[in-house]
Copies of this chain bind each other. A is one copy, B any other.
Amino acid sequence: MSGSEIRRTMPLFPIGIVMQLTDLTARQIRYYEEHQLISPARTEGNRRMFSLNDIDLLLEIKDLIDQGVNLAGIKQLFSAKEKQVVTEEMQKEAKKVRRELSDDELRKILRSELTQAGRFNRSSLRQGDMSRFFKS
């Protein structure tokens, strides 16, 4: 493991490249940032730098706009998705905890989970997948 790893969150691309990759105009990209659908990093000199995740988000935004969803709607969908991620993590954590519980306690938890079911929207957006970008 070298020290120079890049994450999907690492800011790599200037806006010009992102324009090509997403087929959005600079105006659109900046507008979406202004409305907090994305938050690209900035260089010391204040230039936007986008990560792979940012590009995924922009592609999702584009899809949704093509489907007639307005920015307010997209914002809602995004925050719903965040919630979903949170609940997924909660579920994992719950599983961990369960293993350390007695069967008795486990039954209690299961019962309470069942009575609270359906709290969150379970439908998922198309997951951003950069694999279509990186062919060898």
**Interface contact A133-B4, CB-CB below 8 Å:** yes
Question: Of A6-14, A66-74, A105-113, which stretch is located at the interface?
Answer: A6-14
**Copies of this chain held together in the complex:** 2
**Subset of 11 A-B contacts with CB under 8 Å:** A1-B132, A6-B21, A6-B135, A7-B136, A8-B136, A12-B12, A12-B17, A13-B13, A13-B17, A17-B49, A134-B134
Given A4-B21, A6-B134, A7-B136, output 18 extra A-B contacts at Cβ < 8 Å: A1-B132, A2-B132, A4-B23, A4-B132, A4-B133, A6-B21, A6-B133, A6-B135, A7-B135, A8-B134, A12-B13, A12-B17, A13-B13, A13-B17, A16-B43, A17-B49, A52-B134, A134-B134
